[in-house]
Structure 1
Amino acid sequence: MPDAFTTRTLHVATGSRERVVDITTDCEDFLREAAAGRDGLFNIFVPHATAGIALIETGAGSDDDLLAALHTLLPADDRWQHRHGSPGHGRDHVLPAIVSPHATLPVIAGRLELGTWQSVCLVDTNTDNTDRRVRLSFLA
């Protein structure tokens, strides 16, 4: 029988532009092995101070809308006290207060219990950090 708790690190290259990266398939691949058909909880965590996890529809413009909304809420200008890095980088450090760095989702019979249009996405507005780690965990 598989372990009650399994965890793995996923590496995601986000590049030098702001991105919403759909990692649903990576999550499902992990659960196929880790959950092995069981019910439990899936936790996803980004151990970075400038990235988050969102459950959002992708491919129909919602991912671009999210980035646009974040630009409205968190403009990349000189208002931020945190000033190292690219201009406006201080806003990237506020992002996890709006787009949480973690999510816990139900797993039923080894599969993520997502809504019809929901995808698990990494949200990264930090153009200075092009490589991200994402911790995937399953608890039966």
Structure 2
Amino acid sequence: MAEFRQATGLLSVPTPGRALVEITREVMSWVGDQVMDEGLLTLFCRHTSASLAIQENAAPAVKHDLVDWLDRIAPEDHRYAHDDEGPDDMPAHIKAMLTGVSLAIPLMGGRLALGTWQGIYLIEHRRAPHERQVALHLLGA
């Protein structure tokens, strides 16, 4: 029986402003460097105005529609009590709470168990570009 190991890492993700930024390749590359066959990968976004999602990575319109939908759910033109960092700050917090900051993905046969059209995305909810960090933790053998 193989001995369980764990690995941790930090992925830095530049964002262009409000958008879904695909990070699948970077995550898969990091996982491959760990040389594990079976296990569980946990990703954690270290921010309160950005989040993570697994979403379709084939049709670009999906990303556009999701950003538009999130803007309708948490609009900037609402009067929020928290507006210390500008009109896009509180809506960004709401969007991050709704979409989540962590993901768990099984590792099977040395590969992430993503479906054919699934990609891993960091969702930037602020208008300005940022440098975001995603913590990775892989537990496996």
**Common topology (TM > 0.5):** yes
CA change 1:4–1:136 in 2 (3 A) is same
1:87 matched to 2:87: yes
Separation in 1 of the partners of 2:92 and 2:131?
15
- Structure 1-normalised TM-score? 0.91
Further displaced range: 124-133 or 50-59:
124-133
Residue 67 of structure 1 aligns with which residue? 67
Separation in 1 of the partners of 2:110 and 2:116?
17
CA change 1:2–1:125 in 2 (3 A) is farther
Write the deviation string for residues 61-116 of structure 1: whole angstroms up to 9, x where unpaired. 11111101101101112422210123232111112221110000100011110111
CA-atom RMSD in angstroms: 1.8
Residue 25 of structure 1 aligns with which residue? 25
CA change 1:108–1:85 in 2 (3 A) is same
2:39 alignment partner AA:
G
Residue 12 of structure 1 aligns with which residue? 13
Residue 102 of structure 2 aligns with which residue? 102
Residue 47 of structure 1 aligns with which residue? 46
Number of aligned positions between the proteins? 138
Separation in 2 of the partners of 1:98 and 1:32?
30
Gaps of 5+ in 1: none
1:94 alignment partner AA:
I
Separation in 2 of the partners of 1:30 and 1:41?
13
- Structure 2-normalised TM-score? 0.90
Tell me if structure 2 keeps the 8 A contact 1:41–1:139.
yes
- Structure 1 vs Structure 2: percent identity of aligned residues? 28
Residue 56 of structure 1 aligns with which residue? 55
Further displaced range: 17-26 or 124-133:
124-133
